[in-house]
Structure 1
Amino acid sequence: MTQEARRRHRDDLDRARTTLYVSVISDVLDGYGIRDRALPSRIRPLDDETVLVGYARTGLYRDVYHVAEGENPYELEIALIDDLKPDEVAVLACGTSGRIAPWGELLTTAARARKAAGCVTDGCVRDVRAIRRMGFPVFHGGIAPLDSRGRGVVAAIDVPVEVAGVPVCTGDLVFGDADGVVFIPRDMIGKVLAAAYEKVAGEDHTRAELAQGRPLREVFAKYGIL
């Protein structure tokens, strides 16, 4: 990718980050019949003020119950974090056991230094006060002090995964804010963003007329947005 292409790419993400929000993207995905890309309500941001926009890099964890002598249980986890590029998001699928807390202060520090955009996991996180101080967007399935060592290990990276039951692939666009997280399939990104900008403009007109006291029924008939 050329430097000019990288600049345009970053400008597109900056515009999405400042203009769009999760609920409007979810509505647009619904309109395209894609109704399974919003994470369930139990996945929450560590800080409601953070906004996350970036491209998924997936890591698939599996449960383990011991560490073999001489084994490095962090090998693929380290490989994923060290390979993060600017505007990429670590998306870590940990399953349903609740035993794995893959994300903490040190991974946050490493990812932030690489200008990654954030982390999304259905596992737990720890070191939450330190992460909040860094202002790094992290969406999680719970908070716990558990080290992943002896509990979970990355089995594969950049493979299709399910996070809290939602399918996601490397390259999908991740969008998170206080309302939750949605994934835009990588082959739909341009189309979904264009429709989302259009819907936001319509919502702005709707909001302005409602604030002036126009009846909701009348405004809805005019713009078809609610």
Structure 2
Amino acid sequence: MTDRLEILKTCKAELYSAVICDTLDSLGLRSQTVAPGLAPLAEDMTIFGYARVGLFMPIYHDDAEVNVYEHEIALVDDLKPGEVPIISCNGNLDIAPWGELLSTRAQVLESAGCITDGCVRDVAMIRDMGFPVFSGGRNPVDTKYRGKMMWYDVPCVIGGVLVNSGDMVVADHDGIVVIPSERVEEVVAGALEKVRSENTVRDELRAGSSLAEVFKKHGIL
């Protein structure tokens, strides 16, 4: 199997969410795009990586037995290069499960970024670090007393899409797309073929060809 990091390197150089979405559609995978609403902390942030799922639930107190940070610490400390924490809060915007200290540790471990449907805090510091984060909003509150990661490396749904650890995630200006782990090489190969064909189409359009002409010739629009 092709090295996972080599695949990411190729994707970063040539691909983007729209062409991956089109390729997924062509393979019958038409429910892989996260619903609009999760936004990057800065416009130039993009993510190409492999999911590591963490699943939060609400709580309303904290004590020694709750041990509120145990699973979150374990997940982040176990990140491998190119992996992306996918922090599922079931759309709960009352907590900020991600902040600057977690970003610092993840960046040291060469994580590719973080995606959460919860909120994020320490936004200015994370921007300054250049660590890519997409979130459902911003909120200064800690998860302590409010939420706990109960499981990690289990399936979750985020923005209407089922995500498993090991799936590839691509996030950019257009949105977030999830490629099931068992289809990554197939989808990437198809997307590369499509984007290279689109480059030819673009050149022909710039040379004066009509949309009708290039679509008849290449079947791409």
TM-score, with length taken from structure 1: 0.94
Specify the alignment match of 2:33 in structure 1. 38
* Gaps in structure 1 of 5+ consecutive residues: none
Specify the alignment match of 1:177 in structure 2. 172
Q: Deviations over 1:93-137 (max 9, x none)?
A: 001332121011000001001111110110101111111111111
SS at match of 1:97: coil
Going from structure 1 to structure 2, the CA distance change for 1:70 and 1:187 (only over 3 Å counts) comes to closer
SS at match of 2:138: coil
Distance in 2 (CA, whole Å) between partners of 1:18 and 1:133 is: 23
The number of residue pairs the alignment matches comes to 221
Letter in 2 for 1:50: M
* Gaps in structure 2 of 5+ consecutive residues: none
Q: Is the 8 A contact 1:45 1:180 kept in 2?
A: no
1:89 to 84, 89, 92: 84
Specify the alignment match of 2:149 in structure 1. 154
* 2:140 is the alignment partner of 1:145: yes
Specify the alignment match of 1:26 in structure 2. 21
1:163 to 138, 155, 158: 158
Letter in 1 for 2:87: L
Distance in 1 (CA, whole Å) between partners of 2:189 and 2:64 is: 53
Distance in 2 (CA, whole Å) between partners of 1:12 and 1:165 is: 26
Specify the alignment match of 1:72 in structure 2. 67
Following superposition, the deviation at residue 70 of structure 1 comes to: 5.3
Alignment of 1:42-121 (within 5 A): 42-69=37-64, 71-121=66-116
Q: Is the 8 A contact 1:89 1:120 kept in 2?
A: yes
Distance in 1 (CA, whole Å) between partners of 2:77 and 2:92 is: 27
Distance in 2 (CA, whole Å) between partners of 1:176 and 1:224 is: 26
TM-score, with length taken from structure 2: 0.96
Specify the alignment match of 1:215 in structure 2. 210
Letter in 1 for 2:35: P
2:189 to 183, 186, 194: 194
- Superposition misfits of 4+ residues, deviation over 3 angstroms: none
* 2:131 is the alignment partner of 1:136: yes
Alignment of 1:8-27 (within 5 A): 8-27=3-22
Q: Which moved more, 1:181-190 or 1:48-57?
A: 48-57
